[in-house]
Amino acid sequence: MAGSSFGNILKITTWGESHGKGIGVVVDGCPAGIELSEEDIQIYLDRRKPGQSRYTTQRNESDAVEILSGIFEGKTTGTPISMVIFNQDQKSRDYSEIASYYRPGHADYTFDTKYGFRDYRGGGRSSGRETIGRVAAGAIAAKLLKQLGITCTTYTRSIGPVEIQSFDADAICDNPLYMPDASAARKAQEYLETCMKNQDSSGGIIECIIQGIPAGIGDPVFEKLDANLAKAIFSIGAVKGFEIGDGFDAAKANGSTNNDSFCITKTGAIGKSTNHSGGILGGMSDGSPIVFRTAVKPTPSISSLQKTVSQSGEEIEISIHGRHDPVIVPRAVVVVESMALLTIADAMLLNMAAKSDDVCRFYKK
């Protein structure tokens, strides 16, 4: 099935494999007239670029984006924006070993079962490099939403057992783990050093806060804004959990503590005195910041010994070598942000036709 597209009015289609010619995305349905340059995209891509710290793969890629269509005189034209990032460092090493067995925690076995064979070079389509297209598209959504006063802060909430104890937005970019707590970041780095020494890897949690969304975005039933966020985030490889607002803690709560009281804010508008809901009620934004968390599993590629099965059906022991991140979380931060922004942007464009009065006003302008 055609599963490489996401979105309705603003729709992206990604393509590409880890060791193919490149990775790309077509962004269709972007409103016309937005100023957009390759630099706008590159800023986002650089946030997930490999080789930036000890904790990310040492694969040497500049991941430079090239825009092939959809821009004229520096602005989006309303037609599809095609972007490509050509692969540079596809080491032409011998893949016969990796081709011969199923790596635990990877999609080797499921790909083979579904399609009859697989592009085993560097994980093929299931490589983390697939997310490059998402990030390039996310940069466009970010630009569109910024015009509407919507901003997004995404960061690492925890690495393994190390969770942030304080929040300083300025600290996020001061450490390679994107943690808003310098002290936690130090402890997390120590933890990762231990993991690496043990030829092991770690999971973690990413948190995302979206501010400035007006109330009423999203739809009441199957196209709830939180449902689409959940799908968007769960479509990222290695994600194992998603929660919004109080999330799993809400399951232990009472109505009296979980409900957010409505109040009148200083500006005279309707607001909420708390935000247990995480900014969404009945599938529609409630005017408070949208807050969600996502659980990321440990990098499955580890060099310590593992049991598995060979393609010929024998039980074997393997040790995976190569350039692997000991933790996926820091580089996934911008991927999570990108998917969230794409989801929000699409929902906002769809929302324009919700009221008959708005439709009439639009066409009588």
Minimum Å gap between C-beta 183 and a copy of itself is: 19
Q: Which is nearer to a copy of itself, 47 or 121 (CB)?
A: 121
d(CA 111, CA 109): 5
Residue 14: both structure tokens together:
């990604």
CA atoms 122, 97, 235, 238: torsion sign: negative
Q: Which helix (H) or strand (E) holds 11?
A: strand 11-16
Residue 346: both structure tokens together:
């699409």
Q: Could you tell me which residues are beta bridge partners of residue 270?
A: 264
Name the DSSP letter for residue 101: B
Pairing of strands 284-285, 11-16: unpaired
**Collapsed DSSP state (helix, strand, coil) of residue 284:** strand
Q: Which is nearer to a copy of itself, 175 or 301 (CB)?
A: 301
Q: Which helix (H) or strand (E) holds 296?
A: strand 290-296
User: Measured between alpha carbons, how far is residue 301 from residues 111, 234, 255, 264, 306 in Å?
Assistant: 17, 20, 43, 52, 10
Q: Which is nearer to a copy of itself, 170 or 215 (CB)?
A: 215
Q: Which is nearer to a copy of itself, 73 or 170 (CB)?
A: 73
Of 332, 303, 311, residue with least CA distance to 201: 303
d(CA 52, CA 314): 39
Q: Which is nearer to a copy of itself, 170 or 283 (CB)?
A: 283
- With beta carbons less than 8 A apart as the criterion, state whether 167 and 185 touch: no
Minimum Å gap between C-beta 218 and a copy of itself is: 8
Minimum Å gap between C-beta 283 and a copy of itself is: 7
Q: Which is nearer to a copy of itself, 182 or 350 (CB)?
A: 350
Q: Which is nearer to a copy of itself, 171 or 244 (CB)?
A: 244
CA atoms 261, 145, 43, 28: torsion sign: positive
Minimum Å gap between C-beta 92 and a copy of itself is: 15
Minimum Å gap between C-beta 363 and a copy of itself is: 5
Minimum Å gap between C-beta 61 and a copy of itself is: 16
Minimum Å gap between C-beta 242 and a copy of itself is: 5
- With beta carbons less than 8 A apart as the criterion, state whether 180 and 167 touch: yes
Residues with Cβ within 8 Å of 243's Cβ and at least 6 positions away in sequence, in order, are 292, 293, 294
d(CA 173, CA 182): 10
Residue 52: both structure tokens together:
């930036």
Minimum Å gap between C-beta 263 and a copy of itself is: 6
Minimum Å gap between C-beta 249 and a copy of itself is: 8
- With beta carbons less than 8 A apart as the criterion, state whether 61 and 87 touch: yes
Q: Which is nearer to a copy of itself, 173 or 316 (CB)?
A: 316
Q: What are phi and psi of 288, to 5 degrees?
A: -85, 165
Query: Residue for token digits 């996020």?
Result: 172
Minimum Å gap between C-beta 23 and a copy of itself is: 8
